[in-house]
Structure 1
Amino acid sequence: MPVVQFTPFSSLVQPAFWHDLTRMKIDVLQLSDEEVPVIGSYTTGRSITDRETGQEIPLGCNLAVGGEAFQKSSQLPAFSVAASGIFKNYNTIEDFKASDKTAFFNQASEKIWDSIVTKKDTSLLNQFLLITFADLKKYRYYYWFSFPAFASKPSWEISENGWKAAAEELSPKQLTSVYNQLHEQTRPFFLVRLSEDGAEVAGVEEYDEFFANVAPASRTVGFIDPSAMAENPGWPLRNLLAYLRATHAADSSSVRVLCWRDSELPSAGKPWRSRFAIVTSPAAADPTAKPSAVGWEKNPAGKLAPRMADLAPMMDPTRLADQAVDLNLKLMRWRILPSLDLDKVASTKCLLLGAGTLGCYVARTLMGWGVRTISFVDSARVSFSNPVRQPLFEFEDCLNGGKPKAACAAASLKKIFPGINATGYDMSIPMPGHPIPPASVEQAKKDVQLLEKLFDDHDVVFLLMDSRESRWLPTVLGAAKGKIVMNAALGFDTYLVMRHGARASTSSENRLGCYYCNDIVAPADSLTDRTLDQMCTVTRPGLAPIAASTAVELLVSLLQHPDGLHAAAPAPQKGNDLAEPSSSDSVLGLVPHQLRGYLAQFRNLPITGAAYDKCTGCSETVLKAYEENGFDMLLKAFNEPGYLEFLTGLDKLYDEGDAALESVDWDEEED
């Protein structure tokens, strides 16, 4: 009699699985190559009708994995069977190629056989294996499925009647009864007990009780058959027969097999699709001895080799960018800093006051750190001197008078990465020493209100302007609203990067100062009547990106610090010795108060500056005056010379200094 030929499983991987694997790799697996459980499924065999010949063409015997494969459970339609799998992802293509696939397969088959012999369990009979390598930069996925199945020795043979339609063995009433019970509870493997009134269905594990009073010749074993081939049952039958031979050796020399293929009740005039046959095999010498197993899937060329799915052409470019832009950051976290909180950085909303050289470089570095909300404030337009020094602008942006810098910079960020939330505001910031004409007071008030709202809507403010006085109002607002304020300023070959300290009413005794705390001179007009070399910041070309990157790195270190805005400055360094790591540091290391860089010496000097109680920018006197009087107080600071000195008491300090000088007995001798 002919030997039973089984239709092997063919893997069907849905694109959603690769998307979910990408997420799993980046967010969960990272560098782990541990085994992970996955879920696949298969359903009854399907075929299509050839329009020209009218013949039925069977479709593949597919086991599918989709986007829900990594979930513990999923809702399957009727006559679909869940199959458990073991998934293993490798970190390099070399590891994937060199992996010990034989050991992996043998380990799985041993586990399946043990569950059969010791537990009489059918839950692992459909278990599959999947190994992968995910090339996330090119969106190519190398994979290889295995469907372990036990080879029968001696082989199973078909009785002389061969395979036939199930309707030739079971009545329509019996088939309908089986259909209804399987529709209510789909079982991958089941037992059928026939009667004149219909049929009863039970799980294979209930074999002894269910068939207690049924003659062996009347016992029927069924399974959901994923094959549509008329003469070839699906792959799951191999392990079902191996199970019966191991657990019920005396009754398995001849087995009545029902291959269930009907997912719907046949309509009038259409036959049942399920198949039936009697298969036979002599009893094995030792039914509990583990037979050899096979099951690695062949590739489309018919060779035992992995397959490759190339999703790059079908991926949406925006979605590709969204998944890829943070890859470097997550690789850094996997390999070096597992405690790095990237979500905190990404959710930080940054307001950049100034869209010039510093603003452009700060924005690019923020994007590199994963920040997704960046707003610019600037009143200038792009000029022909800008594009070579400011990387968010091009020559075309300078034409016809130049585009507004803030909006142009925001648009450039969106060109670089469409997923960024970038906005530009074309407005000027009122400054002390720059009186506001009566006709412009209302507009200045609106500008201040908009600036106040922007401070409320953002977490961090960068002061990147090109004058001292333009930083005063943002310093006051930042301190009053409890925002992180980062300051960067350039000289010819030196720069200053600092973080403003928290407000006195919320800080400890050792409060850190702001940009103005080191000065006893209130901000005043520094722009009028400047020469050409004074109008622009004359600085070495490489200094701005260094200062901008330093400012962003300082911010990220501060965000990772447990105390955030209130983080204390590190202890002073001794000479040229590196500071010793401290438990109070950020996971990224030190969080200094100020950094003064000297490009001529290629040296950075960390400095800690204490807050000054008479500071014109962050002292409680100034902040309370602003909170009590609002725009009226600001207008006085803009219009009245000496107002800030009078408010903070600096004028009295000047008088005391002058008096001290006058009281000195100067030696007027020639030498």
Structure 2
Amino acid sequence: MASDASEATSSAGDLKLQFAPFSSALEAGFWHQLTQKKLNDYRLDESPKCIKGYYYNGDPVGLPTRLTLEFSAFDVDGPTPAHCCPAVGTLYNTNTLDAFKTTDKKALLEKEAKEIWEAIQSGAALKDPSHLCRFILLTFAVTVGVYDPCTLSQHPGWPLRNLLVLLANQWGSKLGTVELLCFRDRTLQGRRSIQHSVILQVKLPELRKNSVCPKSVGWEKNPKGAMGPRMVNLSECMDPKRLAESSVDLNLKLMRWRLVPSLDLDKVVNTKCLLLGAGTLGCNVARTLMGWGVRHITFVDNAKISYSNPVRQPLYEFEDCLGGGKSKATAAVDRLTKIFPGVNAEGYNMSIPMPGHPVNFSQATLSQAQRDVEQLEKLISEHDVVFLLMDTRESRWLPTVIAASKRKLVVNAALGFDTFVVMRHGLKKTLVTTSAPLVPGSSLFSNIPGHKLGCYFCNDVVAPGDSTRDRTLDQQCTVSRPGLAMIAGALAVEMMVSILQHSEGGYAVASSSDDRMNEPPTSLGLVPHQIRGFLSRFDNVLPASLAFDKCTACSPIVLDHYEREGFNFLSKVFNSSHSFLEDLTGLTLLHQETQAAEVNHIPSNTSAQTSTHTEPFCTKRL
């Protein structure tokens, strides 16, 4: 009840008691329920309906006292939310907007006030105080809204046609005439405005359910007014780069659709690849990566393009050799971008510090070496897969250490005359060598899990040093059969893709030659540790080897010193002889014990020479 007295005198004297103004809050759920009630239950019935709202005790300071109506308003006997006071009211819903406007609102208010007064007089309000909080809600809720794209002042757009069919089919006989709001959000004098919206009164026909489909129309007329096709030439407006992207991916999508449905192309395309070396192997690896859809490729190389390069390295041309030669790293990026503008390629013309190649103790030289190390660490951190494709064995040492420390997948490729090796480095889990057993029934060099696999240096018993010292030019350069780099580069990328398709990634158990007849672990086949190829007899083998606890690159003691001492440790390695790493890892002691054991087994009066140096599988200079 709302009496004329908005103020009341308090017992404290002349102070007057003031009340906060009335405020209502009708939530979206209430309107949704009202729509359903109107269409399915009330139909054309305009008689009063009992509803329930509530006042919430606990709103933040500053909010007005609100009568809240939500989706539960029509369940009068339902529970009231916690910390809420119920309020019962009456809903008057009209069928037309005119009826809403002409309703005698004063009479409704007086009628409700009289009922509250009678409850006070009779004492009913003492038994049920909710009589004191009665309210009235007068609505008109049969307007149908449609987002209208039409710009004509008195006609709706095409999307309204089927909406009217839906209304006629569901509620045509119930609604009769319906009011339609064609909502138009236009720009008017530089500001968004809804003043262009149109309200229509539409009489709906009765369209029975399950009736025959109405006659359909809709074919658009061509400029001549006939029902013919409209021809559009899009060749000039299509972005060539977008066309190239869709065409480049077509082969990969066909591969997945027709041959390998389980192939996860997104995992391959989104892989960021760092190529250390932009020579014969680097160029072929980059081209194969692009064939697999890899978009992010980064080159690191400090060499320039020479006249002998273009015939073997497919990213360079004769003009790149002129004037002293362009930088391989930047020229490779330029060529990849010309081949496919959608590639995200970067090039860094920088050196990689190496064991056996001392860093001068001048401040400038040390600072440059430290910057090169920091740049390499940053690049390896930012990429997912690191390809080792450099000239020498020792140039692979530093990225092997950094990648092992950062738990990055490494794929290594190296060439001989007619032999090659492609291998993945073991992906470390912890710095401490675990003692987890191998798969039951396996031999020592089969079924090795990824974290137990060796790196490029694990099979060596000598530390890396200057492999080009005291060698002539012809000895420094690798002479390989021309097709070898293409084969090894392609296999390096295919190995990476197979690893990515395995559920355990770089931690996958290594496949061996014995697994060739077994069920493959991925949709693309095996996931080997190494591929060692012999072009002279056109044969490949798939050996697997355990990580060496005295490895000069990935052993726990080397990684521990690198992570604790950083560049200080690395500078000791660069500026010391190979004995520094051998002493650190225990190789020196291993050599001494081996020599002592051999001496003890030499027959009397017999001299012997022993050597602990082992030649690597193949030369590393490209």
| Structure 2 portions without partners, runs of 5+ | 1-94, 103-138, 187-195, 438-447, 608-622
Report what 1:419 is aligned to. 342
Determine if contact 1:460/1:486 at 8 Å carries over to the other structure. yes
Let me know the Cα RMSD of the aligned residues: 4.7
How far did 1:295 drift?
3.2
For residues 163-182 of structure 1, what are the structure 2 equivalents within 5 Å? none
Checking the alignment, whether the CA contact within 8 Å between 1:341 and 1:560 is kept in structure 2 is yes
Q: What is aligned with 1:446?
A: 371
**CA distance in 2 between partners of 1:586 and 1:506 (Å):** 27
Q: Does 1:374 align with 2:311?
A: no
Q: Does 1:343 align with 2:228?
A: no
- Amino acid corresponding to residue 462 of structure 1 in structure 2: F
1:298, distance to aligned residue in structure 2 (A)? 5.9
Which residue number corresponds to residue 543 of structure 1?
484
1:482 and 2:419 equivalent? Answer: no
Q: Give the TM-score taking structure 1 as reference length.
A: 0.57
Q: Could you report, residue by residue, the CA deviation over 1:78-103 in whole angstroms, capped at 9, with x for unpaired residues? A: xxxxxxxxxxxxxxxxxxxxxxxxxx
Q: Is residue 381–residue 401 contact of structure 1 (8 Å, CA) maintained in 2? A: yes
Q: Distance in 2 between matches of 1:454 and 1:623?
A: 18
> 1:459/1:297 Cα in 2 relative to 1: closer, same or farther (>3 Å)?
same
Which residue is 2:460 aligned to? Answer: 519
In structure 2, the residue corresponding to 1:462 is in which secondary structure? strand
The letter of the residue matching 1:482 is R
The one-letter amino acid paired with 2:420 is Y
Kindly indicate whether residue 521 of structure 2 is the aligned counterpart of residue 562 of structure 1.
no
Structure 1 residue aligned with 2:543: 607
TM-score by length of 2: 0.61
Q: Distance in 2 between matches of 1:580 and 1:262?
A: 65
Partner of 2:440: none
Structure 1 unaligned residues grouped into runs of 5+: 1-190, 206-223, 266-271
Task: Give the distance between the partners of 1:264 and 1:424, measured in 2 at CA.
Answer: 50
Report what 1:654 is aligned to: 591
Q: Judge conservation of contact 1:496–1:597 (CA < 8 Å) in 2.
A: yes
Query: Contact conserved, 2:355 with 2:397, CA < 8 A, in 1?
Result: yes
What's 1:399 paired with? 322
Report the CA distance between 1:490 and its aligned residue.
Answer: 1.0
Structure 2 CA distance for partners of 1:403 and 1:292, relative to 1, 3 Å: same
Q: Does 1:580 align with 2:518?
A: yes
Partner amino acid, structure 2, of 1:665: P
**How far off its partner does 1:308 sit?**
5.3
Structure 1 distance, partners of 2:170, 2:406, is 76
**Deviation string for 1:150-202 (max 9, x for gaps)?**
xxxxxxxxxxxxxxxxxxxxxxxxxxxxxxxxxxxxxxxxx99999x99x999
Flag the 1:431–1:238 CA change in 2: closer, same or farther, 3 A: closer
Which residue among 485, 505, 512 is the counterpart of 2:432? Answer: 505
Which residue is equivalent to 1:293?
A: 215
| Alignment CA distance shift 1:310-1:667 (3 Å) | farther
Aligned CA distance change for structure 1 residues 568 and 296 (closer, same or farther; 3 Å)? same
Following TM superposition, by how much is the alpha carbon of 1:287 offset from its aligned partner in structure 2, in angstroms? 12
Which AA in structure 2 matches 1:295? V
User: In the aligned structure 1, how far is the partner of 2:346 from the partner of 2:163?
Assistant: 62
SS at 1:438's partner residue?
A: coil
Q: Cα offset for 1:594?
A: 0.4
Sequence identity (%):
52
CA separation of 1:587/1:225 partners in 2, compared to 1, >3 Å: closer, same or farther? closer
- Greater radius of gyration (CA): 2
- State the partner residue of 2:534: 598
Could you tell me how far 1:315 is from its partner in structure 2? 2.1
1:2-35 residue CA offsets vs partner (Å, 9 max, x unmatched): xxxxxxxxxxxxxxxxxxxxxxxxxxxxxxxxxx
Counterparts of 1:601 and 1:656, CA distance in 2: 39
Contact 2:512 2:528 (8 Å CA) reproduced: no
1:633 aligns with 2:569: yes
Pairs within 5 Å for 1:72-87: none
Deviation at 1:595, TM superposition (A): 0.5
Contact 1:351 1:455 in 2 (8 A): yes
2:385 partner letter: V
Contact 1:464 1:488 in 2 (8 A): yes
Are 2:562 and 1:620 aligned? no
Q: Tell me, what secondary structure is at the counterpart of 1:590?
A: coil
CA distance in 2, matches of 1:417, 1:227: 44
Q: How many residues align?
A: 450
Give the aligned partner of residue 428 of structure 1.
351
Letter matched to residue 407 of structure 1: T
Aligned-pair CA distance for 1:406: 1.0
SS at structure 2 position matched to 1:477: helix
Matched, 1:383 2:306: yes
Structure 1 residues 384-403: Cα deviation after superposition (integer angstroms, max 9, x where no partner)? 11122112222222111111
